[in-house]
Structure 1
């Protein structure tokens, strides 16, 4: 742009009184600023540069330049040159109240953040709003936008750890208040599960605030979001130990959140710090962390709480339910058996009735009658002919059902309270039969069985062929396997045989089911589940056969053999990952 065009631009900004007025920036100048070219602005008056704003967000050319840059290729030249020409842009905010520092922190431009901070430390003779020196930089860092976000809030929100470290080191003593959403930077960092950010805030700040919305603290957020007690969580707990009994508006402590969300290692560390916190009951339902863990089926956490703080075992909620009532609904039968056989405290609650006289066995019989384990009841030496206040016994429920109690519990599984129960107050554990019924209905049963049969038959075919096309070949004189003395080869034969047996078992199971369908006109869930497991085990055996057979042939090239084995064994890691995704 030549001087003439600049003069035209300046003249267009003059109002009738000859004073500079704010107007929408020319598209050409917008592109120039976005490209980081400061030449067209060098001969402009400072007042003209200040008035160059975008129509809606009122961004200055400094905002435009920062927003337009790619994080991987950031240049500070334009920023430095423009601030040299017009220092007032350092604190000029847009329509959202964002300074250039806020924008740079948001987009993670750490080099630009450093330039802006250093520029603020220089004398500012034309800017009365900004003092000079370190105090000036801190004044700018502490400025908030329309949402009460400082540059640190923006950096944490967008997980820009480098910027967080710069800002906290520049202003370590400032506590940083909550924004319009009630969140401080430390709370936001804990909520985002970013360990490096939590550590940066705690290590560089001397008095960082911890408040969050609805009475929560950063420790609440960390207990809810951190599945593992990593270095960041340990540092947070060490520095904010006094928050362990702090309750939010629901009366939940950090231990409540860790127990509800199943974060075992987190709750283990919390209990080691203060075991008495597990005795605290919430406001709405008088539920302790033990009730919440039992209600969500977190058997390992239940065991941990009882081992560290056994005195909380007999606490009840506002319905009179102890933790065993909840476990009867959410635990697998195997978990229940383990709990009652190995924990005398749990066994002692088997006959304890709630406010309506319903014992844990009443609950189990009403919700999961197919999983009512009579042998288990006998081992606990309980009387399942005992009645509740409505004169209903456990035996009666097993014979005729108890719709009233069942409906009451089902409502709890859908009740989210005031929003704190994201998965319901209680998680109803479905039996394996029920799970199969959800997966397979009568309408799609034939198609499902056919697809399973094809998979099982294919594995059997491959296993059969592999047994007679063995790695390394045969000796011509007697027909024996050349690698028969090789350990890896022997493992291949065993694994291939296992795959053959399991796959043929699956085929036979499907074959048997076809006769059952003709006789009963219905499918058998147990046989279908057995065939599924047979097929899964045969798949695993086939992978092991492949790995061992390949290793036996490639052992002279050890590096290639190891790499091939690792690639083959990655199948099991992928299966674990897929299963975890399906559980979520």
Structure 2
């Protein structure tokens, strides 16, 4: 832009009294500022530069430049030159109350943030609002916009860790209050699951605030959002351990949230810090963390709570339900079996009635009569003829049903309370396969079983090492690994064909009797899993027999193949695959 254009621009900004008035920035000047070209502004008066604003958001040329820059190629030259010419832009806010520092923090321009902070430390003779030195920089850092967000709030909100580190190191003693949404930077960092930001805030700040909305704290947010007890969570718990019993507006502690959302490692660390916190009940339903974990089907967390704090096993909610009542409606059969077989405290609650006299067995019989494990229940030595306050026994429910209780329990899966039960008070147990969807499942299972049978059949006749030409016998027939290969391959063949036959018979029985046999279906899954395991062993032993001269390679290959069993066993033990 030439000097004449600048003179025209300045003249257009003069009002009738000859004073500078704010006006919408010229499109050409907007593009110049966005491009980071400071030349057209060097001969402008400071008052003119201050008055160059966008129409709606009232952004200055400094705001425009910062917003327009790409994070990968940030230049600080324009910012430094404009502030040298017009220092007052350092604190000039737009219509949202954002200073240039707020905008730079929001977009993650760490180099520009450093320039702005260092500029604020210089003497400001023309800016009476800003003192000089470190205090000036901190004054700017602490400024809030219309949403009560400081630059640190903006940096945390947009997960700009580098900016967070710069700002906290510049002003480590400031606690930072909550914004209009009730969130402090530490709460926002925990809520976003960003471990690096949580660590930066805790390590660089001496008195960082932890408040969140609705009475929550940063520890509540971390317990809810952090699935693993990582270094950030451990640091937060170490620095804010006094928050472990802090309750929000619902009466929920951090342990409540960890239990409800199934964060096992998080709750394990919380219990190690203060096991008594698991005794605290919420306001709405008087539910403890044990009730919540049982209601959501988190069997592993239930086991952990009972092992660390067994005294909470008999606590009841406002319905009179103990944790076993919830387990009966939310645990899979396999999980229930493990609980009652291995935990005497759980077994002792089998005949404990709620406010209406309904025992856990009444609840199980009413909601899941087909999954009523008679053999398991007999081991608890319970009385089938015991009645509730409506004179209804467990035996009666099994024979005739109990619609009233069933409907009452089903409502719990849709009850969200005042919003804290995002997935309902209790989880609905989903069957892996039902009569309705068996056909689709059968097709995929048959493909797997048939594929294993085909591979096992082919492997038996294309054996490792080959055959002797003179008599057709296997070259490696005396090798122990080869012998194990043949045995494992035969087992894989037998079990995969057993799975195929089981599915064939099951489809016939279902079609003829219109009744789905879950035991047969579970047997077919076991046959398929066992055939998979045998196939892996056949692969490992076969490759070992062939690679035996290169022992190191043989061992490495075998270990890689055997790694299959780790996720498979883990899934079964954690009841992700339920029988």
Are 1:104 and 2:134 matched, yes or no?
no
Q: How far off is 1:182 after superposition?
A: 0.3
- CA distance change for structure 1 residues 304 and 25 in 2, over 3 Å: closer, same or farther? same
Q: Distance in 2 between matches of 1:537 and 1:527?
A: 15
Aligned length: 575
Q: How far off is 1:455 after superposition?
A: 4.2
Report if aligned partners of 1:92, 1:99 keep a CA contact under 8 Å in 2. yes
Q: How far off is 1:373 after superposition?
A: 2.2
Q: Distance in 2 between matches of 1:20 and 1:5?
A: 17
Three-state SS of the structure 2 residue aligned to 1:390 is: coil
Question: Which residue of the partner structure matches residue 317 of structure 1?
Answer: 317
Q: Distance in 2 between matches of 1:568 and 1:20?
A: 78
- Per-residue CA deviation, residues 69-101 of structure 1 (Å, 9 max, x unaligned), is 222222211211111111111111111111111
Q: How far off is 1:282 after superposition?
A: 1.1
Are 1:338 and 2:333 matched, yes or no?
no
Q: Distance in 2 between matches of 1:126 and 1:246?
A: 48
Three-state SS of the structure 1 residue aligned to 2:229 is: coil
RMSD of aligned C-alpha atoms? 3.3
Question: Which residue of the partner structure matches residue 247 of structure 2?
Answer: 247
Q: How far off is 1:554 after superposition?
A: 6.5
Greater CA deviation, 541-550 or 435-444? 435-444
Q: How far off is 1:563 after superposition?
A: 8.8
Report if aligned partners of 1:437, 1:525 keep a CA contact under 8 Å in 2. no
Q: How far off is 1:555 after superposition?
A: 7.2
Q: Distance in 1 between matches of 2:454 and 2:165?
A: 60
- Per-residue CA deviation, residues 186-227 of structure 1 (Å, 9 max, x unaligned), is 111111111221111111111111110000111111111122
Greater CA deviation, 77-86 or 399-408? 77-86
Q: Distance in 2 between matches of 1:8 and 1:377?
A: 93
- CA distance change for structure 1 residues 442 and 224 in 2, over 3 Å: closer, same or farther? closer
Greater CA deviation, 168-177 or 4-13? 4-13
Greater CA deviation, 565-574 or 109-118? 565-574
Report if aligned partners of 2:330, 2:429 keep a CA contact under 8 Å in 1. no
Report if aligned partners of 2:83, 2:90 keep a CA contact under 8 Å in 1. yes
Question: Which residue of the partner structure matches residue 93 of structure 1?
Answer: 93
Question: Which residue of the partner structure matches residue 167 of structure 1?
Answer: 167
Q: Distance in 2 between matches of 1:281 and 1:320?
A: 13
Q: How far off is 1:562 after superposition?
A: 8.6
- CA distance change for structure 1 residues 294 and 440 in 2, over 3 Å: closer, same or farther? closer
Q: How far off is 1:441 after superposition?
A: 6.5
- CA distance change for structure 1 residues 235 and 116 in 2, over 3 Å: closer, same or farther? same
Question: Which residue of the partner structure matches residue 234 of structure 2?
Answer: 234
Three-state SS of the structure 2 residue aligned to 1:317 is: coil
Q: How far off is 1:435 after superposition?
A: 11
Q: How far off is 1:342 after superposition?
A: 3.2
Report if aligned partners of 1:102, 1:154 keep a CA contact under 8 Å in 2. yes
Q: How far off is 1:179 after superposition?
A: 0.4
Q: How far off is 1:4 after superposition?
A: 2.3
- CA distance change for structure 1 residues 25 and 374 in 2, over 3 Å: closer, same or farther? same
Report if aligned partners of 1:227, 1:264 keep a CA contact under 8 Å in 2. yes
Q: Distance in 2 between matches of 1:487 and 1:161?
A: 58
Greater CA deviation, 276-285 or 471-480? 471-480
- Per-residue CA deviation, residues 51-79 of structure 1 (Å, 9 max, x unaligned), is 22222222222112222222222221121
Greater CA deviation, 514-523 or 20-29? 514-523
Q: How far off is 1:442 after superposition?
A: 6.0
Three-state SS of the structure 2 residue aligned to 1:145 is: coil
Q: Distance in 2 between matches of 1:247 and 1:437?
A: 32
Greater CA deviation, 361-370 or 272-281? 272-281
- Per-residue CA deviation, residues 360-385 of structure 1 (Å, 9 max, x unaligned), is 11111111112222233322222121
Three-state SS of the structure 1 residue aligned to 2:383 is: coil
Q: How far off is 1:10 after superposition?
A: 2.2
Greater CA deviation, 498-507 or 357-366? 498-507
Q: Distance in 2 between matches of 1:51 and 1:570?
A: 68
Report if aligned partners of 2:328, 2:364 keep a CA contact under 8 Å in 1. yes
Report if aligned partners of 1:436, 1:525 keep a CA contact under 8 Å in 2. no
Q: How far off is 1:518 after superposition?
A: 5.4
Q: Distance in 1 between matches of 2:325 and 2:142?
A: 52
Q: How far off is 1:407 after superposition?
A: 0.8
Report if aligned partners of 1:178, 1:184 keep a CA contact under 8 Å in 2. yes
Question: Which residue of the partner structure matches residue 131 of structure 2?
Answer: 131
Are 1:217 and 2:212 matched, yes or no?
no
- Per-residue CA deviation, residues 448-475 of structure 1 (Å, 9 max, x unaligned), is 5345434432332232123222344333
- CA distance change for structure 1 residues 97 and 469 in 2, over 3 Å: closer, same or farther? same
- CA distance change for structure 1 residues 404 and 480 in 2, over 3 Å: closer, same or farther? same
Greater CA deviation, 231-240 or 121-130? 231-240
Q: How far off is 1:269 after superposition?
A: 2.0
Greater CA deviation, 89-98 or 436-445? 436-445
Q: How far off is 1:536 after superposition?
A: 5.0
Q: Distance in 2 between matches of 1:484 and 1:380?
A: 53
Three-state SS of the structure 2 residue aligned to 1:436 is: coil
- CA distance change for structure 1 residues 31 and 409 in 2, over 3 Å: closer, same or farther? same
Q: In structure 2, which of residues 512, 530, 549 is the aligned counterpart of residue 556 of structure 1?
A: 549
Gaps of 5+ in 1: 426-433
- CA distance change for structure 1 residues 488 and 64 in 2, over 3 Å: closer, same or farther? farther
Three-state SS of the structure 2 residue aligned to 1:388 is: coil
- CA distance change for structure 1 residues 138 and 348 in 2, over 3 Å: closer, same or farther? same
TM-score for the superposition, normalised by structure 2:
0.90
Greater CA deviation, 48-57 or 478-487? 478-487
Q: How far off is 1:115 after superposition?
A: 0.8
Q: Distance in 1 between matches of 2:570 and 2:51?
A: 55
Q: Distance in 2 between matches of 1:286 and 1:23?
A: 61
Greater CA deviation, 65-74 or 492-501? 492-501
Q: How far off is 1:526 after superposition?
A: 3.9
- CA distance change for structure 1 residues 52 and 536 in 2, over 3 Å: closer, same or farther? farther
- CA distance change for structure 1 residues 3 and 303 in 2, over 3 Å: closer, same or farther? same
Q: How far off is 1:260 after superposition?
A: 1.4
Greater CA deviation, 167-176 or 23-32? 23-32
Question: Which residue of the partner structure matches residue 415 of structure 2?
Answer: 415
Report if aligned partners of 1:168, 1:205 keep a CA contact under 8 Å in 2. yes
TM-score for the superposition, normalised by structure 1:
0.89
Report if aligned partners of 2:285, 2:318 keep a CA contact under 8 Å in 1. yes
- CA distance change for structure 1 residues 27 and 499 in 2, over 3 Å: closer, same or farther? farther
Q: Distance in 1 between matches of 2:496 and 2:302?
A: 39
Q: Distance in 2 between matches of 1:298 and 1:185?
A: 31
Q: Distance in 2 between matches of 1:396 and 1:414?
A: 27
Q: How far off is 1:354 after superposition?
A: 1.0
Report if aligned partners of 1:227, 1:266 keep a CA contact under 8 Å in 2. yes
- Per-residue CA deviation, residues 415-450 of structure 1 (Å, 9 max, x unaligned), is 01011111111xxxxxxxx99996666676545534
Report if aligned partners of 2:334, 2:578 keep a CA contact under 8 Å in 1. no
Three-state SS of the structure 1 residue aligned to 2:428 is: helix
Gaps of 5+ in 2: none
- Per-residue CA deviation, residues 563-583 of structure 1 (Å, 9 max, x unaligned), is 988987888899899999x99
